[in-house]
Amino acid sequence: MSHPAHAAPTAADATRKLLASLWQKNLPMLRERLALLEAAAQAAEAGTLTEEQRHEAGSTAHKLAGSLGTFGYPRGTELARALEHRFDSDQPLKGAGLAGQVISLRSELAV
């Protein structure tokens, strides 16, 4: 009975490799989005968040929530979705602990 030295790559292997490549390619944009969320969270906690910043942060969190699950980060999706809801709500954000939520998201993604 002979065994091949290397098994042929499977479709799942190819998909994982493609996703890893896309993740690496998108890291700069991901870091930009996290920086935007961090700045908005800091502004919210300082009481200086503008409506434009709040809208942009909600939109950014929405984009992250939509993409992170694809890359195998379901908890990242949950955290981004929670941020989206916070920024998109009518509730005051000062002292809301948003910076801690963004830190949790960054930590989950290890970037």
Which residues span the domain enclosing 64? Answer: 28-109
Query: Which pLDDT value is given to residue 83?
Result: 95
Higher pLDDT, 38 or 14: 38
15 domain-assigned: no
Is residue 111 within 8 A of residue 27, CB to CB? The reply is yes
7 domain-assigned: no
Query: Which amino acid appears at position 76 of this protein?
Result: G
Query: Which pLDDT value is given to residue 21?
Result: 87
Q: What is the pLDDT of residues 19-78, one digit of tens each?
A: 888 888 989 999 999 999 999 999 998 889 999 999 999 999 999 999 998 888 999 999
42 domain-assigned: yes
Helical (H) or strand (E) element with 80 = helix 74-88
pTM: 0.82
**Locate tokens 């890291």: which residue?**
27
11 domain-assigned: no
9 domain-assigned: no
21 domain-assigned: no
State the burial class of residue 68 (Cβ atoms within 10 Å of its Cβ: 0-12, 13-18, 19+).
Answer: buried
13 domain-assigned: no
pLDDT category of residue 94 using cuts at 50, 70 and 90: confident
18 domain-assigned: no
Q: How many structural domains does the chain have?
A: 1
